[in-house]
Amino acid sequence: MVSRAAAAPHTAQVPERPSSAPAAARPSNRLVAIDALRVALIVLVVAHHAGQAYGPGGGGQAGGLWPVSDPAKAAILSSFFSVNAAFFMGLFFLIGALFMPASYDRKGPAVFLADRFVRLGLPLVVVLLIGELAASASGSSSLVGLLALFSIGRGYPGHLWFLEHLLLYAVLYTAWRLATARWRLPSLPVPNNAAIVASVLALAAVTFVVRIEYPINRWVYVFGVLSAEVGHLPQYASLVVVGLLAARGQWLERLPTRRGLGWLGVGLAAALARYLLPIGTPGGANVGSLIWSTCEAFIASGLCLGLPVLFRDSVTSGGRWLGRAAAATYGVYLVHLFVVLALQLALLGLVAPALLKFALVTVVAVLVSFGLAAGLRRLPGVRRVL
């Protein structure tokens, strides 16, 4: 699910089933399904970082740098990292873009941007300041200083790069809406399979070209301020555009179940291929980079198209716990890295298989992070941000 062309008429003789849910129920179900999907994704993000200390080479985050490296290693985590990176942050970008048009329409440009700067910019500034103080107080040679420098210190936002990018996309979207305020823009129809395949191949080609100079895990400062792994920017930007188009065209509600689940199967098959045959290179002008760029495009497109449809059709009602968990996901994203690092550090002396440590850190970090996020949301004034 990447940038899409307009859908052509169906040529199949048997019409595709549009959705297993009644049409009248879809708007509310859509929110419940997105909530469930966000919770699942944030758990995967925690697991991704939990595994960094136990992967080959100390993980693959931030160009291979990870401040805690455990002697216990599990080679399979290399594929786990690659498959995750192929889609999960892109899906977060898509979900964020799905809600931008309605938020802009409801609030107007000034309030919309002010809200984005409060919710995204304020946590970024506060955490960066805390990181600067921690790094300065402890010294970069100490372990605490290293954790602070890696996570949030010296101007490097660590995992909060995502907030920087969301803020930039909000600014660009506002500028676009203001520039096109007098235009009457049509909603594009739900893309068919041919349009989706074309967009997948286009994403693969652009990604391959970009990674000739900017391979995976090479982080740079774009325009001197925006921390970015350029090798994944084509995917992120295209999925933001897809989310905006999907919001206007109600693609999530209207996408046929058979088509969505079919592409979910494509994404899962490409991901499985990465586990069974982990070939490819992170970049450069070579066949290996072309193979991985193409495989990653199919993983991203298949899972980012199929997972929302799967959750739409299978999660039709929510409960108190889902609502609370979904409300805490943003807070979990902000605090989880520090919980993970502390747990990885605490387990350094434990003699145990790498996958057991990985599972232990994941489970405990998920529980603690959700608890911390829920507690922070109870503080005066914090709920408006988190």
> Is a pLDDT exceeding 50 seen at residue 4?
no
78 or 130, greater pLDDT: 78
Do 312 and 327 belong to one domain? no
In a domain, 10, yes or no: no
In a domain, 202, yes or no: yes
Angle of helix 354-376 versus helix 26-50 axis, rounded to 10: 130
Q: How far is CA 28 from CA 24, 189, 316, in A?
A: 9, 22, 9
pLDDT > 90: percent of the chain: 64
Do 269 and 351 belong to one domain? no
| 3-state percent helix, strand, coil for the chain, nearest multiple of 5 | 70, 0, 30
Instruction: Give the C-alpha separation, 90 to 2, whole Å.
Output: 10
Query: Which pLDDT tens digit goes with each residue over 40-80?
Result: 999 999 999 999 999 986 444 433 567 788 999 999 999 99
Q: What is the pLDDT of residue 21?
A: 42
CA atoms within 13 A on the CB side of 325: 20
Instruction: Give the C-alpha separation, 164 to 132, whole Å.
Output: 17
Q: What is the pLDDT of residue 225?
A: 76
Domain holding 219, by residue range, is: 94-140+162-318
* DSSP conformation letters of 139-204: -TTSHHHHHHHHHT-TT--GGGHHHHHHHHHHHHHHHHHHHTTT--PPPPPPP-HHHHHHHHHHHH
Instruction: Give the C-alpha separation, 265 to 245, whole Å.
Output: 23
Q: What is the mean pLDDT of residues 257-284?
A: 94
Decide which of 318, 346, 361 is a domain's last residue: 318
Decide which of 295, 318, 341 is a domain's last residue: 318
CA atoms within 13 A on the CB side of 191: 22
Do 121 and 246 belong to one domain? yes
Do 304 and 327 belong to one domain? no
Do 313 and 336 belong to one domain? no
Query: Which pLDDT tens digit goes with each residue over 142-179?
Result: 555 555 545 544 455 678 889 999 999 999 999 999 99
In a domain, 240, yes or no: yes
In a domain, 70, yes or no: yes
Do 126 and 188 belong to one domain? yes
The rounded mean pLDDT for the chain is 85
Do 169 and 293 belong to one domain? yes
CA atoms within 13 A on the CB side of 180: 10
Do 293 and 350 belong to one domain? no
Structure-block tokens of residue 297 = 């495009």
Kindly calculate the radius of gyration of the chain based on its CA atoms and give it in whole angstroms. 21
Do 294 and 334 belong to one domain? no
116 or 2, greater pLDDT: 116
In a domain, 217, yes or no: yes
Do 314 and 330 belong to one domain? no
Lowest mean pLDDT among 94-103, 138-147, 268-277, 374-383: 138-147
Decide which of 272, 291, 318 is a domain's last residue: 318
In a domain, 14, yes or no: no
Which of these, 188, 184, 234, 240, lies nearest to 211 by C-alpha position? Answer: 234
Do 254 and 373 belong to one domain? no
Q: How far is CA 357 from CA 20, 112, 340, in A?
A: 40, 43, 12
In a domain, 174, yes or no: yes
Count of domains in the chain? 2
Q: What is the pLDDT of residue 18?
A: 42
Structure-block tokens of residue 17 = 């089933």
In a domain, 127, yes or no: yes
Do 218 and 258 belong to one domain? yes
Q: How far is CA 114 from CA 97, 167, 265, 329, in A?
A: 17, 11, 40, 21
Which of these, 280, 206, 195, 202, lies nearest to 245 by C-alpha position? Answer: 195
